[in-house]
Amino acid sequence: MKRTTWWTAAVAAGALLALVGLRAQAQQGDAVKEIERYREALAEGNPAELWEARGEELWKTKRGPRQVSLEGCDLGKGSGMVKGVYVTLPRYFADVDRVMDLETRLVHCIVTLQGFTAGEATRQVFGDGAKRSDVEAVVAYVAAESKGAVMDVPTGHPREREAYALGERIFFFRGGSHDFSCASCHSAPGKRIRLQDLPNLTDPKDAQRAYTSWPAYRVSQGELRTMQWRLFDCFRQQRFPALEFGSDASIALTMFLARNANGGVFNAPAIKR
């Protein structure tokens, strides 16, 4: 047993050394190709499925003070309809007179249907190791039910157009210590931060590719992350204060990005580095 462990360690160390050596020699193009291969290898077993399964259970289980499931939740296509809803969000919901994304709508249903308080519903919006997030799990489940569907975010309602216009202003808003806006990194083709490719979110093809790959399982974090998390963490790196979950700015920016991805084929939960 001990021997096997030693050998495994030796082989692993050897492989690591070889990798490091290879990397040092690798030219830029090779490095990018390696990352591409790594991503393909990852996609074969995506742990996001664990989140999807837990989300489905959360969706169907009677919970909360009122002991009801989330199947009575209207995500835009009628109570309990989850198939193909993610590609039509955010959208205007007349019952609350507000544009909502999936995350905000779920919290709304957890509060109004199941009887949890808003504080309880948003206590753990982002998972953190053992502290799991129910919202992330349900988002994974609902999003997976749109796999293969075409992005079709509406702007027929004036409030939807208003959210889109606000989202566009936020995208180009420069501020903070570094003068960054979303556009600083995401408005030109073929750019990178270090070796990380940046989608040009003002280009329809890039916008589609980027938006349809969220939510995603992040290998580096061991967590499934939603679009709300993606925006929160972008703003952190932008040196802005902390974006509030479900805030008007977060929904407007999501509206801008989602609508720009219209026509793209939804392919998430994906897996990323």
Partner 1 sequence: MTPRRRTRWLVTGAIVAAVVSAAAGGDAQSEPQRTVEIMKKSFKARGQAGLDRLDQDEAQAACSRRPADGPVPVGVAERIAKTSVASVKFPADGRLMGDWREGEKIAQSGIGMQFSDDPGRVAGGNCYACHELSPRELSFGTIGPSLRAFGKIRGSGPEMQRYVYVKVYNSQAFVACSTMPRFGHKDILSVAQITHLVALLLDPASPVNQ
**Which residues are catalytically annotated?**
234
**Torsional class of 261: left (φ above 0), alpha (ψ -120 to 50), beta (otherwise):** alpha
Total residues contacting partner 1 by CB under 8 A comes to: 44
Asked whether the bond before 189 is cis by omega within 30 degrees of 0, the reply is no
Residue with Cβ nearer partner 1 (68 or 165):
165
Candidate ranges 41-49, 59-67, 245-253, 265-273; the one touching partner 1 (CB under 8 A): 245-253
Closest to partner 1 by CB, 120 or 162: 162
Q: Nearest CA to 110 among 61, 160, 76?
A: 61
Q: Is 169 in the site for partner 1 (CB under 8 A)?
A: yes
Question: How many other C-beta atoms can be found within 10 angstroms of the C-beta atom of residue 96?
Answer: 12
Q: Which is nearer to partner 1, 1 or 193 (CB)?
A: 193
DSSP state of 234: H
Q: Smaller CB distance to partner 1: residue 76 or 246?
A: 246
Alpha carbons within 13 A on the beta-carbon side of 31: 13
Task: Establish if 1 lies at the interface with partner 1 (CB under 8 A).
Answer: no
Please enumerate in sequence order all residues whose Cβ is within 8 A of that of 26, keeping only pairs 6 or more positions apart, or say none: 34
State how far the Cα of 246 lies from the Cα of 250, in Å rounded to an integer.
6
- The verdict on 22 binding partner 1 (CB under 8 A) reads no
**Considering the rule CB under 8 A, would residue 35 count as an interface residue with partner 1?**
no
Closest CB to partner 1 among residues 60, 169: 169
Exactly one of 96, 239, 263, 273 binds partner 1 (CB under 8 A); which one? 239
For residues 192-231, which are near partner 1 according to CB under 8 A? 192-196, 198, 202
Contact 129, 217 (CB under 8 A): no
Residue 128 is a binding residue for partner 1 (CB under 8 A): no
Please, what is the minimum distance in Å from the beta carbon of residue 75 to partner 1? 23
Distant-in-sequence, close-in-space partners of 157: CB < 8 Å, separation ≥ 6: 91, 92
- Determine the Cα angle at 151 with ends 147 and 157, to 5°: 135
Query: What's the CA gap between 268 and 120, in Å, rounded?
Result: 27
Tokens of 10: 């030796």
Among 191, 209, 221, 262, interactor with partner 1 by CB under 8 A: 191
**Min dist. Cβ of residue 65 to partner 1 (A):** 28
Interface segment toward partner 1; rule CB under 8 A; list 24-32, 56-64, 108-116, 141-149: 24-32
Span near partner 1 by CB under 8 A; candidates 95-103, 117-125, 135-143, 247-255: 247-255
Reduced to 3 states, what is the DSSP secondary structure of residue 217? strand
Q: Which positions lie near partner 1, rule CB under 8 A?
A: 26, 28, 31, 166, 168-181, 184-185, 188, 190-196, 198, 202, 235-237, 239-244, 247-250, 252
